[in-house]
Amino acid sequence: MKMTMTQKILAAHAGVDSVRAGEIVLVDVDMVLGNDITSPVAINEFSKFGRAGVFDNSKVALVMDHFAPNKDIKAAEQCKLCREFAAEKRIKNFFDGGEMGVEHALLPERGLVTAGDVVIGADSHTCTYGALGAFSTGIGSTDMAFGMATGKAWFKVPPAIKFYLTGKPGRWVTGKDVILHIIGKIGVDGALYRSMEYRGPGVAELSVSDRLCMANMAIEAGAKNGIFPVDEKTLEFLKKAGAKPPVIYEADEDAEYEQVIEIDMSNIEPTVAFPHLPGNTKTFDEFGEIKIDQVVIGSCTNGRLEDLIQAAEVLKGRKVARGVRTIVIPATPKIYLEALEMGLLRIFLEAGAVVSPPTCGPCLGGHMGILAKGERAVATTNRNFVGRMGHPESEVYLASPYVAAASAVTGKISHPKEVIS
């Protein structure tokens, strides 16, 4: 039977020769992930199994990133519960304090996920690791508990949509613009429980950082997962991260796809998702002046070094507009240190921005940049639902680091060419 890339990975981990869309399979997992919000629920459920330990203490990762550094007593209690559980079960991949980074930037950086893996995480943006050729998807906390106890997970095999990428992104266009363009095209339910499988010559024009961003936002189109083929860029990234040897799966040429959608990336312009959906996208020829109060550059979507370099290119030698709070959040300690050594943090600070320690923080309305009633923010995050970053009557506009940085300088949503000719 001819299979997609996702189907081949699931078949291999289910120990069968082939699977088909709609089939229910029980698969072995290579990594079970949780954070400080979702793990406590999983830990409480895990205790009901009566197991002395997790299935493999090297294949569970707990990352204290959402409300950390602890924003209040409740957050502190959540992290304490996770910390004690990790110590008791001798979980090797527990990240807290100075080791903590935003989970979906941290795991690839640490080499904890690789091509061919099945990764489940009690966080919807676990689909990020599809950029590296893994099947990765978000699950609930009870499924996380089952995964920690057994090393297995149940799945209904998703049907697939092929996104055939051609062309080269133009100046100022990043993976964020490409995925916003795609979600704007198909809608927030356009890939509902589908696998978004990227193919075509355009893949080679995307950096690994671009791919991580695009796979991260597969869930914003309703997808079960997003996945990219493994190429030299992928292998170089995995080697540098110290990941275990990859297992490379390739889709059969005549694999079955529900749709094939062609995307010429050379035609994509810098794109902004307006409130209150990631699919409510517009390009700069479609709207006028929109003044803003805050800019957030960071998150599991756009907090990597490449993203900070893009933001610094725009902010260097400039000041953020008066009245615009600009918050830059390197996604991991390693990224923070690299940005420091490259002089990027100096650029941000001299521009008048705040540089935060790694955290999810404002992305989910946690801390480090909450919006008041009536305020607007441009953010490099992945969601802009009602109340996502604070007050229900605030607004969040999703954009690339280039657009976010340009908007910080002008005080309104701006194309980078308004700042750099």
DSSP letters, 122-184, are SSGGGGGGGGGT-EEEE--HHHHHHHHHHSEEEEEPPPEEEEEEES---TT--HHHHHHHHHH
Residues 288, 283, 397, CA angle at the centre, nearest 5°?
A: 75
| Cβ atoms < 10 Å from Cβ of 135 | 30
pLDDT means per 10 residues, the chain with 421 residues, are: 94 96 97 96 93 94 92 93 96 94 96 97 96 97 96 97 97 97 96 96 97 97 97 97 96 94 97 96 95 97 97 97 96 97 98 95 87 96 92 96 98 96 76
Same domain, 130 and 56: yes
Within 316-400, residue ranges assigned H as helices are 333-341, 344-351
Exposed/middle/buried for residue 218 (C-beta within 10 Å: 0-12, 13-18, 19+): buried
Does residue 229 sit in the same domain as residue 334?
A: no
Does 239 share its domain with 115?
yes
Asked which of 238, 263, 288 is the last residue of a domain, the reply is: 263
40 with 171, same domain? Answer: yes
The DSSP annotation for 77-106 comes to HHHHHHHHHHHHHT-SEEE-GGG---HHHH
* pLDDT for the residue numbered 110: 96
Last residue of a domain, which of 263, 279, 299? 263
* Structural domain ending residue among the three candidates 239, 263, 287: 263
- Buried-state track 272-281, b at ≥16 Cβ within 10 A, e below 16: bbbeebbbbb
Please state at what angle helix 344-351 crosses helix 333-341, rounded to 10 degrees: 80
pLDDT at site 365: 85
Q: Same structural domain for residues 290 and 367?
A: yes
Contact 103, 63 (CB under 8 A): yes
In the beta sheet, which residues pair with residue 395? 376
Size (the chain), residues? 421
pTM for the structure as a whole = 0.94
Please check whether residues 293 and 258 belong to one and the same domain: no
Q: Which residue range(s) make up the domain with 313?
A: 271-418
What are the DSSP calls for 15-37, one per residue?
TSS---TT-EEEEE-SEEEEETT
Taking the C-alpha atoms of residue 353 and residue 347, their distance in angstroms, rounded to an integer, is 9
Q: Are 129 and 108 in contact (CB under 8 A)?
A: yes
Q: Are residues 196 and 254 in the same domain?
A: yes
Beta-carbon contacts of residue 379 (< 8 Å; ≥ 6 apart): 295, 296, 297, 299, 362, 363, 389, 396, 397, 398, 399, 404
Q: Which of 157, 118, 193 is CA-nearest to residue 20? A: 157
Note whether 279 and 257 are same-domain residues.
no
Q: Is the domain of 37 the same as that of 170?
A: yes
Q: Are 245 and 320 found together in one domain?
A: no
pLDDT confidence of residue 118: 98
Q: Give the contacts of 222 (CB within 8 A, at least 6 positions apart).
A: 188, 189, 190, 191, 192, 193, 194
The structural domain count of the chain equals 2
- Alpha carbon distance, N-terminus to C-terminus of the chain: 53
CATH number of the domain within which 184 lies: 3.30.499.10
Q: Both 102 and 23 in a single domain?
A: yes
- Asked if residue 300 and residue 207 are part of one domain, the reply reads no
Phi (first) and psi of residue 274, to 5 degrees: -85, 160
Upper half-sphere CA count for residue 61 (Cβ side, 13 Å)? 27
